[in-house]
Structure 1
Amino acid sequence: PDHLHCIWTLPEGDADYSSRWRDVKKYASQEFLLPPGSQHAWQRGFWEHVIRDENDWQRHMDYIHYNPVKHGWAQSPREWQWSSFHQCVKKGWYEPDWGAQDIPDVADMDWE
């Protein structure tokens, strides 16, 4: 509802996160129907992190996919229809019931 997480591969020598996030928020906001009196659809700011290795990538993927459960928007990652989790299950990267029973070890990755 007020933020999203993603993993990007930017072109070599390009680290212009600010312009990209501005464009994403601008484009997506055109589709929003804000409640009366609301002025802001998005959480302010952003955080970037350079993925160091495969373990770091996996921890970030887990965090992203578990985030809707953490915030109470879904009971399990598979219930969040807007998630890339479904594509990752098709690729065999996750079991369909991942995160439904056991809480993944993502507690120390609180960026919000």
Structure 2
Amino acid sequence: MQYRRAFTKGGYYFFTLTLQDRKQRLLVEHIDKLRDAFTQVKQRHPFKIIAVCILPDHLHLLVRLPENDADYPTRLRLIKAKFSQALPKTEAISISRQTKGERGIWQRRYWEHEIRNEQDLNAHIDYIHINPVKHGYVKRVADWQYSSFQQYVAKGILPMDWAGNGVEIEDGFGE
């Protein structure tokens, strides 16, 4: 099956990456390995993280790519691969994955959405930050430690008691 994806150089993109086994908590249990994977990939394939939220079994990520670059699939593939390589091989691996030399950590595909305008950008930032509350991990957005929300508060972009009301950000759409 051929997937149609949008590729805009310098574009803003929202992604959801999900573990194969949704009962696992690997992303928060091995948060340092995940952060290392992001750091390594950003060194060779730069991108700017606009907003992020890491949950136990999936993550939401909003990025801006460099002006001359639209290759987000390579970045996502490498983040997933580097994180997987850092984990011990304890997961069940299907024959299909074994044949392709894959681990059984991540779902093969991911959700991707190209951000269209500033309203769309703000809606996705809100969605990312409110997600731990939506899933019942915390009652207040500020109580989830694996999110860019605290950085937004530190920069004065969002108040500590924020709960999803749309904001303008300094690295706004179109800059």
Query: Taking structure 1 as the reference length, what is the TM-score of the superposition?
Result: 0.72
Give 5+ residue unaligned stretches, structure 1: 106-112
Q: Which residue of 2 aligns with 1:45?
A: 109
- The aligned residue for residue 120 of structure 2 is 56
Aligned pairs, number: 100
| Greater alpha carbon shift after TM alignment, 19-28 vs 58-67 | 19-28
Q: CA offset at residue 37 of structure 1?
A: 4.8
Partner of 1:17: 72
SS for the counterpart of 1:48 is strand
Paired letter, 1:75: K
* Structure with greater strand share of residues: 2
Bigger relative contact order (CA 8 A; separation at least 6) = 2
Partner of 1:65: 129
The match for 2:145 is 81
1:5 is paired with a residue whose SS is: strand
The Cα of 1:33 is off from its aligned counterpart by 6.2
Between the two proteins, what is the percent identity of the paired residues? Answer: 49
Aligned to 1:7: 62
Q: Cα 1:33–1:71, aligned 2, differ >3 Å: closer, same or farther?
A: farther
CA RMSD between the two structures:
2.3
Structure 1 residue 32 displacement after superposition: 4.5
